[in-house]
Amino acid sequence: MHGQPKWPAQGGYVTLSVEPNKLAETLVENISNVIVGKRGAIELALVSLFSRGHILIEDVPGVGKTMLARSIAVTTGCDFRRLQFTPDLLPSDVTGASIFNQKTENFEFRQGPIMAQIVLADEVNRATPKTQSALLEAMGERQVTVEGVTHILPEPFMVLATQNPIEYEGTFPLPEAQLDRFFMRISLGYPTREEEVAIMDRRETADPIDEIRAACEPADILKIQKQADDIYINELVKQYIVDLANATRDHREASLGVSPRASLNLMKGAKAMAMVRGRDYVTPDDVKAIAVSVMAHRVLLSPSARMRGVTQPAIVEEILAAVPVPGGGGGRRPN
């Protein structure tokens, strides 16, 4: 399709004050004022938000993981809560609990930090598996159940969990089933020399996050999420996604490939990426742009591969180079 794209939503057309790709660009620019030089990671985080996904940020301390979560919340106008995971944290500290009110003589539900729109689960691998599992229902079902009563989480809803990939002492590694719940795994990495000087300049007298303002409302994010659902994806591109998934399952260095959830997430993320790029159809390049972030953490390396230092992203990159890309009919919506 050529010319001005349309953005259909479920059940009709939803009107935004600006087009989704322009709003996404504004959000990226806003966050880039705080997180310097990490445009790629910021775009991936927004694609995850537009796809109703959750993010695992795996990186060393001090590179801006917490600031990224706060910046997303501020610029989208969403509620934000931070939860510091520690070994003594209980599931009720995450979900909330029923407290007896002596005045009313009734039990009242006191909301936990999970009942926010943007939730930062800081150092998630420091909590016990029982507490980690408290996130599973919230991330998968967008609800929490406390003492038999189900509480629906607000929308939009996204969990950003962080963990240190180097320090393992006193931690509880996330099991494969929980890793699979995360839409993406991203990292920020150290800034360049110039970027680090720019960070020092911006924070010499003030914190940049105090100066950014909301570029939209949570309701706008919900509209964008619905619009991303209706982005067109050709059957050949769907087959390409499945071919990538199958290649991880047959790879010599992997003892376990990605699940069908990864294929679904690749499709959803590619739709959101196409929308961010100003198109109403998905191309293979949209799939490639998010493939490593969506697939790598779901690949379980074989023992021999771990001993030789093979990495999960390297396997996905190898697969992207080897799997044929669909031609001609793999993009635009047919007339």
DSSP assignment of 314-330: HHHHHHHHHSPPP-TTS
Q: Which residue(s) pair with 158 in the sheet? A: 118
Gap between the Cα atoms of 245 and 260, Å rounded: 8
Strand ranges in the chain using DSSP code E only, listed in sequence order: 8-9, 12-13, 55-58, 80-84, 96-101, 106-111, 118-122, 143-146, 149-152, 158-163, 184-186, 254-256, 300-301
Whole-number pLDDT of residue 170: 73
What does CATH list as the number for 16-89+118-124+154-228? 3.40.50.300
Please write the tens of the pLDDT for every residue from 148-160.
Answer: 888 899 999 999 9
Chain-centroid distance of CA 63 in Å reads 18
Q: How open is the CA angle 146-155-121, to the nearest 5 degrees?
A: 65
Whole-number pLDDT of residue 5: 37
Among the listed residues 67, 46, 38, 83, the one whose alpha carbon sits nearest the alpha carbon of residue 203: 67
Query: What does the domain layout of the chain look like in residue ranges?
Result: 16-89+118-124+154-228, 230-335
CA distances from 159 to 135, 226, 265 (A): 9, 19, 16
Question: CATH topology of 16-89+118-124+154-228 equal to that of 230-335?
Answer: no
Mean pLDDT within 161-189: 87
Q: Is the pTM of this model over 0.85?
A: yes
Check pLDDT > 80 for residue 17.
Answer: no
Gap between the Cα atoms of 92 and 98, Å rounded: 9
Mean pLDDT within 133-137: 82
Please write the tens of the pLDDT for every residue from 273-296.
Answer: 999 999 999 999 999 999 999 999
What does CATH list as the number for 230-335? 1.10.8.80
Cα dihedral: 219, 221, 222, 225 (round 10): 160
